[in-house]
Amino acid sequence: MAPLRGLDLRKGDSDNESDELQACDSADEPLTDRTARLWFGLTALAVFTGIIVQVFVSANAKAEFFHTAGARVFNVFCFFTIQSNLIVGVTSLLLALNPNRSSTVFNTFRLTGVVAIAVTGIVFHAVLARLLDLESWALVANNLVHTVVPVMAVLGWLMFGPRGRTSRRVMWLSVLFPVAWLIFVLIRGPIVHFYPYPFVDVIKLGYARVLINCVWVAVLYLGMAAGAAALDRRLARTSVTEGS
C-alpha cells in the first residue's frame, strides 16, 4: 500500500505544478492583449446597450410614423446607424473573446464595421444632429450609437487592430454592405412611404438628388476604406519592424 500512496503523492505534485504553469501562462498574457479584450468588450457593451435602449424608446413612442410597436422596432433595424453598430458590436465581441481572430469574412466585417461607424459619426454630427431635439432615454441611445460607439470603435481599431488584415480584396468586399443597404432602402421606401434619412428621401428630393447624395456618401466611404487599408498596412509593417 505504501507505494500506492507515494504514487498518489507524486500525481498530486504533478497536478499542482500543472496548475502553477497555467497560472503563470495567464499572468504572462501581454498587457496589450488584456487591454484589447477589455476595450473590445466595452465597445460591444456600448453597442448593445445603445440598441436596446433605442428599441425600448421606439417601441413605446407615441408620435411615430409607424403605428404598431412591432413595426417601429423593425424600423429601428433599417437604419444604417443601427446596422453599423450591430456589425461593430458583433465583431468587437468576437475580438474580446479572441483578439487574434482572422478570416476573409471576419476581416471584411471588421473593416466594414469600422468604416461604416466612422461614416455614421461624421454624417450625423455634420448633417443630421441639428435636425433632432431629443431628451431622456432617446438622448442616451442617440449619444451611444452616434458618438460613443464611433469613437470607441475607431480608437479600438487604431490602438489594437488587429493589424495586417485589410487587403485590397477586403476593402472592396466591405463596399457590399452600404450598397446592399441603399438598394434595400430604395426598394422599401416606396412600399412603406418612409425613408430613414433626409438625404435618401426620394419623396421629397426625387431620385436624381438622392443618387447625387449617395455618390457623395459613397466617395466618403470608399475614401475612408482605402485610407484604413493603407494605414493598416503601414501600421502592420511598423509592428513587424518594432518586433524584430
Distance of CA 115 to the CA centre of its chain: 9
Residue 235: pLDDT band (50, 70, 90) is: confident
Pairwise CA distance, residues 222 & 224, whole Å: 5
In whole angstroms, give the CA distance from residue 90 to residue 165.
17
Total residue length of the chain: 244
Write the burial class of residue 107 (CB in 10 Å: 0-12 exposed, 13-18 middle, 19+ buried): buried
Q: Is the predicted pLDDT of residue 4 greater than 50, yes or no? A: no
How many Å apart are CA 83 and CA 177, to the nearest integer?
9
Is 171 within 8 Å of 226 (Cβ atoms)?
A: yes
Rounded Cα gap, residues 12 and 204, in angstroms: 77
Greater pLDDT, 216 or 21:
216
93 is written with which cell numbers?
465581441
Is the confidence at residue 242, as pLDDT, over 60? no
pLDDT tens figures, 7-58: 444 444 444 444 443 433 444 445 568 888 999 999 999 999 999 999 998 8
**pLDDT for res 49:** 96
State pLDDT tens for residues 72-97: 889 899 999 999 999 999 999 999 99
Residue 96 near residue 37, CB atoms below 8 Å: yes
pLDDT score for 61: 80
Q: What is the pLDDT of residue 5?
A: 43
